[in-house]
Structure formats: structure tokens, C-alpha cells
Structure 1
Amino acid sequence: MRYGRTSMVNFLSNLVMSFSGFVATIFLTRTLGQEQYGAYVVVLSVLSWVAIAGTLGLPQAVRKRVSESDDGNYVVSGALAQLGLYAVVAVFLWIARPYLNAFMGLDATWILILMLAVRLGLGFVRNVLDGQHLVHVTSVLSPIEWTSRSIVQVALVLSGFGIAGAFAGYIVGAIVGSIIGMYFVSIPDRLPSRHEFYRLKSYAQFSWLSSVKGRTFLSMDTIILAVFVSNSLIAVYEVAWNLASLFAIFGASISKTLFPEMSKISSDEGTVDEIAGLLQVSLAYSGLFIIPGLVGAALLGDIVLTIYGPDFDVGYYILLVLTFARLLYGYMGQFLSTINALNYPDLTFYINVIFIVVNLTLNVILTWQFGWYGAAAATMMSAGIGLILGYYFAKQVINVSIPFSEVGKQCLSAGIMATVVIIGRFNTADSLPVVVVLVGIGAAVYFASLLVLSEEFRTTVADNLPFQLPSIVSK
């Protein structure tokens, strides 16, 4: 796996980010309480949707055009376009503030506008760096942002600032990440022309819907839940979602790492077979962590959820459904990333339209009928449909080879891990310290089993370690 080290750097960075967020969430849920934390989650969900209107596919277009072998100045042209979009959206938000405040349950529109500014700025910097093949830099930015955010949030919330402290931490973290990221951005020494703006528009007119698709998967259920259930249940749902997302980090890291490489090969008129090989690698390793994560959640999730508070274990079944949804969505993302890298944004546009319609329809109907279980089921079902569509359309533009053998070995290794963890749980008391030990033992058993079962995994590990392990290389 040529890009294994970059993927691992991205993964470890996101793991640090998730850990800092994990600790901060525990403090927030226990200090703010489920009701106030649920209100904070609703505001963040509104921000996420507003951010889509403030980008309209521009980040994906910037990442794509910057990654190509082109002398155009897409950094400055993209920045100007981003500034204009933000100004328009900010004005509309201020006009609509009475309705927004009523929906959010807080007088927070002015905070929303400020959070939107820092979110768009940081997102733009990240996409420019990704396009300039500096994925390892953006990988480091994420834990810096989240750690800064978490430190400020915990400090302010514990100091008595309440939910305002949580918002302030979000803003400070984004500003810190943006300033550091800007240091590494290379800006071409020529003024942008109308051609650059046109090329950004030509890609963004299709790619904007991928943002809607992504946000639909990430928070459509939260928005719909805000209509039908209490903020307390939303807080539990969000915690379950964050845990499920933790397992999906590595698959997302692979996609993020390989996209600029696929895009460059495509723009350089490289062979489609080379891109097909990268797709096969991404599919082989997309489930590396989330497959055992799903098994682990089934065995230990009920205890893990109690870390956030005594009433959070009611989200156990939600955690399982959402983790499986993340597994399906991760494989779907590999197909769509490849299609976009091959410069077929029109195909992903069709996939995204269907995904959004299905997700929205299922979320409204199933949440209305079955509450938060319906929301989780809607997320899972739409991810499954998106995966099928991604596979179908990817086959239209590239030779798709599914690595069933490698995925099967991961499942078998997870099964061996499950056996050990079940024996351990039945012979010990249910407590958080015991669960931590069982998680460590389970992870060790899983990877040891995979090393024995999979020659490809052994080779990948040996090729990407900064030092040689004779016992692995020699096998």
C-alpha cells in the first residue's frame, strides 16, 4: 500500500482528535446535562446545514482543481468566491434570525454567523492543503483544532460559562487551526483569471450536492429528531453517533489520502488500471477498524455508553445500527471518491440526489412512526442504497474488483476477537476498568489474527513501518 504511511498519519491524527473530543463530550454531557448538551448539538446541526449554503460545492472544486497539474491560481479565486458566498448567507441568516432562534431554542443567530465564518475559513484552508498533496498537514490540523476547542470548552464550562463556553471553544479551535494551516498554503504568484473561476464553477455545479449528501448522512436524523423527540434523547443519539464515527476514521483517512493521487493520475492521463488498483486497496482497508468496532460495540457498547452518564446506556441499540450505517457509508465513500477523482461529478450528482431524497423521506416517515430507532434505521438504509448506487456507477467508468478475501479475513479475525472478549466478559464484573482491559485485549487479538490470516496485511504493515520487523517480513 504505497500511501499507507500518509493514511496512518491521518488516522492517528484523527484518533487524537476524536479522543480529545471524546473527553470534552464527557465533561459537557456531565456538566451541561442532557438537555443543554442536546441544545448545543442542535445548533451545531443547523450550522452544518448553513455551511453547505455557504460553500455550494466550492471546497470540493478547489481541492480537485488545485490537485490537478495546472498553473491556474485556484487558491485566490477560490478564496474570493468563498468570501462572496459567506457574505450572502450571513445576510440571510440575520434576516431569518427570529425563526432560527425559535427552532434552536436559543438566541444564538449572531453566534451562528460567527461560527460559520471560522468554519468556512478552516474548511477552505484544509481543502487547499489537500489539493496541494499536503494531506499529512491537514491531518495534523484536525487534532490541533479539536484539542484547542476541547481545552477551551472544558475550561469555560467548568468555570460556569455554560453553553456559551461550548460555543466559544468551537470558535477558538477553528481560528487556531486556520492560522496554522495558512502557514503551509502555497499561493501562486499570478492573478487569477476568469478561466479559473469558470473551472471552479464547472466542477462545483455538480459537486455541491455531495456536501448535501454528506451532511444528510451526518445530521439529517438530528434535525428531524429535533422535531419529534426531546433534547435529552438527541444528546444520547449524538453520543452514539460520535462513537460509531470513531470506528470509521481509518476508512475516511484512506479516501482522503488517495483522492488527490487518483485525481493527479487522471489529469496526467495515467492508466485507469492504476486508479482501479488504488480503489481496490481503499476497499480492502476501509473496514479495517470499523468491522471489529461493530463487533466490539455489540459486546461492550452498553457499558461504554455509561461513561457519558448513567442514562446514556439506553442508546445501546442505536449505537449498533449507526455503527453498521457507518460501515456501509465508508465503502460507499470509496466509490464516490474514485468517481470524483476521475472527473465525473455528474455521476456522483445523480447518486447524491437519490441518496438525499431517500434519506430525507425515510427519516421523516420512520422517525415520525418509530422515534429515534426510526431515525437510526433510516440512516442505515440510505447508506445501503448509496453503497449499491456507488458500486453501480463506479463500474461504468472503471474496472471494479471487490477484495472479498481481505474483507472476509477481517471478519474472521473479528470473530476470533469476539470469542476472547465474550469469555473475558462472562468471567469478570461489568465495570469501566474491566472494559478498557477487554478492549485492549480484543484489539491485540484482532490484529494478531489478521497478521496470521492475511499475507497482504502482513506485507502492508512491513512496507509502511518506519523500521523492519523480521518476524513480519519473513512470513
Structure 2
Amino acid sequence: MVNFLSRLVMSLSGFVATIVLTRTLGQNQYGTYVVVLSVLAWVAMVGKLGLPQAIRKRVSEPNEGNYVVSGAIAQFGLYVVVAVFLWLARPYLNEFMGLEATWVLIAMLATQLGLIFVQSVLDGQHLVHVSSILTPVEWTGRSLVQVGLVLSGFGIAGAFAGYVIGAIVATVIGLYFITVPATYPSRGDFSRLKTYAQFSWLGSIKGRTFMSMDTLILAVFVSNSFIAVYEIAWNLASLFAIFGASISQTLFPEMSKISSESGSDAEIVELLRMSLAYSGLFIIPGLVGSALVGDVVLTIYGSGFSVGYYLLLVLTFARLLYGYMEQFLNTIDAIDRPDLTFYINAIFVAVNTVLNVVLTWRFGWYGAAVATTVSAGLGLVLGYYYASQVIDVVVPLGEVAKQCSAAGIMAAVVLVGRVLLGDTLPIVIVLVGIGATIYFSVLFVLSRQFRRTVRENLPFTLPVVAPE
């Protein structure tokens, strides 16, 4: 719950900041900012090479070893190598980004890798709630600085400064909670990190391919103003997926510990079933709501963003598929089978890259959205297949059906409200609140499991959720 609420605060602060940035910088400059962030995401992936996943896994295991210090040493070495290559390639990078920003990129990379390292260690030490709080701290700090500097006339430089400052603040706070083993790191510690990272590095590429391969390919074929619209649609779609991501991050260290201590498949199977049951809790109604009022919601960012309506629908569906896929891959990684996820990730990256190039070249941004969706669907099928090879997978189709039913009832009410009351932005915002209330109320009635989950997680007792 802490993880989810943290992601929600992060998303809301980013939502407000994005509105200010798009309206102040304009579509073209904001598009340039997005391109720089996309390049940062890819170079950060090279700067990690699966190391954060390996650190999280090894630290979570109940064994001896100083994976905090050994991980820090390995991470710093990777950063230095990547930073040197970036500086040597700065003429080409600046031309691609449309801005003299390589030195900014190097600074942003340092702060980003530092924060990821701290969060990986905290996750491994079963302090997911602390790690989760760092994300809204970063985003809120980033947003406040960005809004202040951009409105003060610093333009895109203010946006970059906010990114760096937010990450530094969150990293410093996270370091306070980390426990560093008193032993010196051994050669075996580095070896165990390597044996996991040599497979998990492709997971970073898979995630980054899903998140921004389409943006990079679009940068070749369309203007930055179109990229800004695409990125806004993607950000809204990602907002609905935060609960599923919270489940993955929270359950990984628990599954990893269970697998390392006892190897009890029954407990892991139940945790996977629960993660699948709740992965679509928010994004299923989010997809339905986007279809009903997404065109109006997009106008918050400016009149030119409403053209991203159909993109929003396709990308939200892609996030839905990807969320279920991640639950399977998260489980496979937790039981120390990164070799299996390596195969899945390799296929995903290859298919996603080829489809993005071909479909974007042929159909523009709709082709990019379809390529992302098809890749997520394929990854979901592969994730289910390989997870079934190592554990007994139980798919909670009944719970997913109840969520779809509740979303359907919500849709009927919201649609009638829009027809009768109109489709101005204030009315649509009210309808969104009403729709969310109806969805969760109906789901509460339909699903005994959802009622039990609400009862077990509330800090107080309500008569309506008393034990059945």
C-alpha cells in the first residue's frame, strides 16, 4: 500500500508538472526534453547492465556476503565507462537530441544510477516501503524545482536542473536507511552478482524497449511536437499501471526469500495468483474510462494534445498486457531462473525493435503504438508458458472477470452522465470521480477476495468490511 500510494503521489506531481511544462515550453521544446530523457533512459540501461536486479536478488537472500559495497563498486565502474563514451560521442548525441546537452546527460545519468542503486539495496533488505517513498520524494522535488525554474524563465534548462536535484535529494535520504555489512566484499560476492546480472541485463533492455523504443524511432520519422503528444498519451496510460508495478516490486523480495530458504512452491504460486488478481485492478477501469472521456482529459495539456485519443487507448491496452506479463517474469526471476526470462526478453526486444521500425516507418505513431502492444502480448504468452514450466500457475480468471464487469457498469453510468451533462472538462473530472466510486463499490459487492483484501489492509475496522 505504501508503494502504491508513493507511486500515486509521484504520478500526480508529475502530472501537474507536465501540464506546466507543456504549456510553458510548448510542444516542440517539451518534445526535445522528452527525446533527451529517452536517450538518458537508454544510456542508463547500459550503465546498469542488470546490476540493480542482481543486487536486489542477492541482498534479499539470507546468506553471508557484502553485496552493498561490491554492488556500489561495480556500479561506479560501469558509470565511468559509459560517461567516457558519452563524452566522446557528444557531437552525434547533440545532433540527435537537437540540443547541446551531453554534459547534462552525463550529470543526469550519475544521479539516476545512484538513486536506482539505493532503491535496489533497500528492496533487497525488505525495506520496500522506504524505497517506495523515495520515488515520490524524487518526483515531487523534481516537479517543484522544474515548475519554479521554468516559470521563472529558465526554460528547458530549468527542467533538466529539476531532474538532477530531485534525484540527489531522494538518494541522500535513501542512504540513511541502508545497512552496510561490516565485512569486506569478497571475490565471491562479485561473482554471484555477475552470475545473476549476466542474464538479468536483458530485462533492463526489455523494459526500456517497451518504455521508449517507440519514442526513439518516432524521433527519426516525426517532429518533436508529435513526440510530445505521444509521450503524454503514454504517461497517462502508465498512470493506470502503477498498482501492478507496486505489486511486482513488493512481492519480489518476499518470493526470493521464500525460494532461497525453503523452496516452497505453494507459497510462491499463491503470491503469483494474488499478483495476477490485482494487476488489472486500476488499469482495466482506466482503459474503459479512457475510451469514454480520454479525448477531453487530454485537453488539460493543451488543445493540440486531443489528437492523441486513439493513441491513449492502444497504449493503455499495451500497458495492461505488459502488467500481467511482468507478474510472470517477476516470479521467474525471484525463484532464481533469470536464464528463462533472458529468453523471453531476447524475443521481446527483437520483435519490438523490428516492429517499431517497420510499422512506424509505414504508419507513423499508430504503427509505433501497435508495435508496442503486439510485443507486450507476445511477452505475456511467453511469460505464462515459461512460468508454467517451473511452477503450477493458477490464473484467477474469476477475479479478472469481476473487475471487467464492474468496469462495464461504471462505463454505463459515465456514458449516460456525459450524454446528459455534456463533455466540458469540469464535468468530465466529476464523472471520473463518480465512475471510480461506482467501480470500486460494485467490485466490493462482486468479489469476496477484494472485500477480504480491503478488510485486511485497512488500519481500522468498518462495519461493512467486518469478517464474513
**TM bin (shorter chain):** over 0.9
* 1:75 partnered with 2:78: no
1:63-462 superposed matches below 5 A: 63-462=56-455
Distance in 1 between residues matched to 2:7 and 2:217, nearest whole Å: 28
3-state secondary structure, aligned to 2:303: coil
Name the residue aligned to 1:5.
Answer: none
* 1:52 partnered with 2:45: yes
Distance in 2 between residues matched to 1:127 and 1:305, nearest whole Å: 34
Distance in 2 between residues matched to 1:471 and 1:42, nearest whole Å: 49
Kindly state the Cα deviation for residue 342 of structure 1 after the two structures are TM-superposed: 0.5
Distance in 1 between residues matched to 2:438 and 2:150, nearest whole Å: 39
1:185-230 CA deviation, whole Å, 9 max, x = no partner? 0000111000000000000000000000000000000000000011
Unaligned runs of 5+ in 1: 1-7
Distance in 2 between residues matched to 1:250 and 1:56, nearest whole Å: 26
Distance in 1 between residues matched to 2:250 and 2:428, nearest whole Å: 33
* 1:40 partnered with 2:33: yes
3-state secondary structure, aligned to 1:311: helix
Distance in 2 between residues matched to 1:285 and 1:429, nearest whole Å: 33
Distance in 2 between residues matched to 1:109 and 1:402, nearest whole Å: 46
- For 1:346, the aligned partner's letter is D
Kindly state the Cα deviation for residue 70 of structure 1 after the two structures are TM-superposed: 1.1
Distance in 2 between residues matched to 1:52 and 1:215, nearest whole Å: 7
Equivalent residues of 2:206, 2:345 under 8 A apart: yes
Corresponding residue to 1:18 among 5, 11, 17: 11
Distance in 2 between residues matched to 1:469 and 1:410, nearest whole Å: 23
Distance in 2 between residues matched to 1:189 and 1:434, nearest whole Å: 59
3-state secondary structure, aligned to 1:422: helix
Equivalent residues of 2:298, 2:308 under 8 A apart: yes
Q: Return the TM-score normalized by structure 2.
A: 0.99
Provide the aligned C-alpha RMSD in A: 0.6
Name the residue aligned to 1:4.
Answer: none
Kindly state the Cα deviation for residue 474 of structure 1 after the two structures are TM-superposed: 4.6
Structure 1 vs Structure 2: percent identity of aligned residues? 73
Unaligned runs of 5+ in 2: none
Distance in 1 between residues matched to 2:104 and 2:172, nearest whole Å: 20
Distance in 1 between residues matched to 2:101 and 2:327, nearest whole Å: 37
Distance in 2 between residues matched to 1:375 and 1:97, nearest whole Å: 27
Corresponding residue to 1:29 among 15, 22, 40: 22
Equivalent residues of 1:101, 1:107 under 8 A apart: yes
Distance in 1 between residues matched to 2:328 and 2:9, nearest whole Å: 27
Task: Number of aligned residue pairs: give it.
Answer: 468
Kindly state the Cα deviation for residue 269 of structure 1 after the two structures are TM-superposed: 2.1
Distance in 2 between residues matched to 1:298 and 1:153, nearest whole Å: 31
Kindly state the Cα deviation for residue 473 of structure 1 after the two structures are TM-superposed: 2.1
Corresponding residue to 1:465 among 442, 458, 462: 458
Equivalent residues of 2:455, 2:467 under 8 A apart: no
Distance in 1 between residues matched to 2:59 and 2:174, nearest whole Å: 16
Distance in 2 between residues matched to 1:70 and 1:271, nearest whole Å: 18
Equivalent residues of 1:458, 1:473 under 8 A apart: no
Distance in 1 between residues matched to 2:160 and 2:231, nearest whole Å: 17
Name the residue aligned to 1:3.
Answer: none
1:303-331 CA deviation, whole Å, 9 max, x = no partner? 00000001100000000000000000000
Equivalent residues of 2:55, 2:124 under 8 A apart: yes
Distance in 2 between residues matched to 1:472 and 1:436, nearest whole Å: 29
